Chains A and B, each alone.
Chain A
Amino acid sequence: AAGVIQSPRHLIKEKRETATLKCYPIPRHDTVYWYQQGPGQDPQFLISFYEKMQSDKGSIPDRFSAQQFSDYHSELNMSSLELGDSALYFCASSLTGAEETQYFGPGTRLLVL
C-alpha cells in the first residue's frame, strides 16, 4: 500500500539558512500533520492542514511556516535555522471522517551546522 512520502530524506544546512521539507500524503488522505522529534525524544506536534487550510497549530516556531497545496501535498518552510532545529521531521496523513489514525512518513533528518 502507498505510504506517506517525504523529501528530502536527509538535509544539511548552515545556521541562518533556510530549508524546505516536502510531504506527499497517502492517496485520498486530506489532512497532513508535521511533527518534530529531537534525539531520544517523543515527536512533538507542529502544525496540521485540512483541505489546504491550517487546521491546528502546536509548538511551531514563528520562523517556520507551512502550507498545503491543491494536490494535498504539504511543505514545511524553515528560516533562520538554528542549531537546535536539528531533528527528525515527520509528516503524517489521515482521512478525516473515515478514521482518526495518523500514518507517518519516513521522516527528514535535518542537521544544522
Chain B
Amino acid sequence: GESVGLHLPTLSVQEGDNSIINCAYSNSASDYFIWYKQESGKGPQFIIDIRSNMDKRQGQRVTVLLNKTVKHLSLQIAATQPGDSAVYFCAENIVGGADGLTFGKGTHLIIQP
C-alpha cells in the first residue's frame, strides 16, 4: 500500500466523549471487515468485526457501521477512556478468498484528560 511514513492521521478527543474513527476500504468485493487496536510496540488487538450482510454491529462500548455504497467503515467508541489511546486500523477481506487481510491506514487516537 501507499506509505504514509510516520505521519498517521490523528484524532484527539476529551476523556468521556465519544470517538468516531473512519475508514475507506478499497475493494468493493470485500465482505468481511475488522477493526483492530494497536498499542505502541504491541500486536493488533481484535476489537469488533462485521460482515457485509450487516450495516451495524455493537459490542461493549464500541459500534461498527458499514456503508457498502460508499465503501466506508466507522468505529464508534463510547465514553472514551485513557486506555483507548492507540492506533486503530480497519482491515478487509473476502470470505473464502485470499487469506491476507488488507489494512487501511491507521488512525492515532489521543485522549485528552
Binding site for B on A (CB under 8 A): 4, 31, 33, 35, 38-46, 48, 50, 55-56, 58, 90, 100-107, 109
Task: Enumerate chain A residues within 8 angstroms of B42, measured Cβ to Cβ.
Answer: 106-107
Binding site for A on B (CB under 8 A): 1, 3-8, 32, 34, 36, 41-46, 49, 89, 93, 95, 98-106
Task: Enumerate chain A residues within 8 angstroms of B102, measured Cβ to Cβ.
Answer: 45
Known pairs A104-B43, A104-B44; A58 contacts B100 (CB<8 A)? yes
Q: How far is the CA of A40 from the CA of B7 in the complex (A)?
A: 7
The reply to whether B98 and A56 contact each other, CB–CB distance below 8 Å, is: yes
Task: Enumerate chain A residues within 8 angstroms of B99, measured Cβ to Cβ.
Answer: 31, 33, 45, 48, 50, 55-56
The reply to whether B49 and A101 contact each other, CB–CB distance below 8 Å, is: yes
